Amino acid sequence: MPAYLWQPPADVVDAAQSTALARHLGLASYAELLEQSVADPAAFWDATVRWLDLGWERDWDRVLDESAGIAWARWFDGGRLNLAWSCVGRHAEGEAADRIALVVEHEDGAVEEHTYAALWDETRRLGAALRRLGVEPGDRVALVLPMGLEAVAALYACALTGAIGVPIFSGFSASAIATRLADCAVSAVIAQDHTVRRGRPVPVRETVEAAVAQAPVAHVIVVGGEGHGHHDYRALVDREDPAACPVLWVEAETPVLVCYTSGTTGQPKGAVHVHGGLLAKLALEARLACDLRAGDRAMWFTDMGWIMGPWITIGVHAAGRTMVCFDGAPDWPGPDRLWRLAERHRLTFLGVSPTLVRALAAHGDELPRAADLSALRSFGSTGEPWNPEPYTWLFAVVGGGTKPIINISGGTEIGAVILGCDVTMPLEACSLGRPVPGMAVDVLDADGASLTDAVGELVIRAPFPSMTRGLWNAPDRYLEAYWSRYPGIWTHGDWATRTAEGSWFLHGRSDDTLNVAGKRVGPTEFESALVADPAVTEACAVGLPHPVKGEAVHCLVVLAPGAVLDEEAEARLRGLLEADLGPAFRPERILAAPELPKTRSQKVMRRAVRAALLGEDPGDLSTLENPSAIEAIATLR
Angle 20-25-30 from CA coordinates, rounded to 5°: 55
Domains delineated in the chain: 530-634 (3.30.300.30)
Residue 349 has pLDDT above 90, yes or no: yes
Residues 306 and 288: their CA atoms lie apart, in Å, by 21
CA-only gyration radius of the chain, Å: 24
| Cβ atoms < 10 Å from Cβ of 430 | 20
The pLDDT assigned to 562 comes to: 93
pLDDT class of 520 with cuts at 50, 70, 90: low
Mean pLDDT for the stretch of residues 577-601: 84
Separation of alpha carbons 82 and 26, rounded Å: 30
Tens digit of each residue's pLDDT (9 = 90 or more) over 211-263: 999 999 999 999 998 778 999 999 999 999 999 999 999 999 999 999 998 64
What is the phi-psi region of residue 65: left when phi exceeds 0, alpha when psi lies from -120 to 50, beta otherwise? beta
Distances (CA, A) of 448 to 69, 454, 623: 20, 13, 21
Residues 550-576 have a mean pLDDT of 93
- Band of residue 172 on the pLDDT scale cut at 50, 70, 90: confident
Provide the pLDDT for residue 624: 67
Report the half-sphere exposure of 236 (CA within 13 A, side-chain side): 25
pTM exceeding the 0.75 threshold for the entire prediction: yes
- 570 pLDDT higher than 70: yes
600 vs 627: which has the higher pLDDT: 627
Lowest mean pLDDT among 110-119, 167-176, 365-374, 591-600: 591-600
| Structure confidence by residue, pLDDT tens digits, 281-320 | 999 999 999 999 999 999 999 999 989 999 999 999 999 9
What percentage of the chain carries pLDDT values higher than 90?
A: 78
Direct distance between the N- and C-terminal alpha carbons of the chain, in angstroms, rounded to an integer: 39
Q: Report, as an integer, the average pLDDT of 494-498.
A: 88
**Residue 262 confidence (pLDDT):** 63
**Cis amide bond preceding 203, omega within 30:** no
Strand partners, 509: 494
Coil, helix or strand at residue 485: coil
According to the model, what pLDDT value does residue 608 have?
Answer: 87
What pLDDT was estimated at residue 599? 57
pLDDT at 600: 47
Mean pLDDT lowest among 259-263, 469-473, 594-598: 259-263
DSSP structure string for 338-361:
HHHHHHHTT-SEEEE-HHHHHHHH
Average pLDDT, the chain: 93
For residue 604, pLDDT beyond 80: no
- What's the pLDDT at 603? 61
Does pLDDT of 186 surpass 70?
yes
pLDDT average, residue stretch 256-284: 87
Q: Rounded to an integer, what distance in angstroms lies between the CA atom of residue 409 and that of residue 392?
A: 19
Buried b (16+ CB within 10 A) or exposed e, 351-368: bbbbbbbbbbbeeeeebb
Give the chain's count of helices (H) and strands (E).
Answer: 22, 33
Higher pLDDT, 213 or 516: 213
pLDDT over 50 at 601, yes or no: no
**Would you state the pLDDT for residue 126?**
98
Question: 3-class DSSP state for residue 254?
Answer: coil
d(CA 554, CA 539): 11
pLDDT at site 45:
98
In which band, very low, low, confident or very high, does the pLDDT at 602 lie, cut at 50, 70 and 90?
Answer: low
- Is residue 264 over pLDDT 60? no
CA distances, 548 to each of 199, 329, 545, 582 (Å): 23, 16, 9, 19
pLDDT band at 446 (very low <50, low <70, confident <90, very high): confident
Query: In whole angstroms, how far apart are CA 326 and each of 43, 97, 153, 489, 621?
Result: 39, 23, 16, 38, 47
The C-alpha atoms of residue 299 and residue 285 are separated, in whole angstroms, by 14
**pLDDT for res 265:** 46
Q: Is the pLDDT of residue 90 over 80?
A: yes
Split at pLDDT 50, 70, 90, the class of 4 is: very high
pLDDT: is 113 or 267 the higher one? 113
CB 316 within 8 A of CB 295: no
Residue 353 pLDDT: 87
At residue 620, the pLDDT reads 53
Q: For residues 211 and 191, what is the distance between their CA atoms, to the nearest angstrom?
A: 12
Higher pLDDT, 385 or 428: 428
Question: 562 vs 192, 489, 559, CA distance in Å?
Answer: 44, 49, 8
Is residue 549 predicted with pLDDT exceeding 90? Answer: no
What are residue 459's phi and psi, to 5 degrees? Answer: -135, 165
Segment 463-491 mean pLDDT: 96
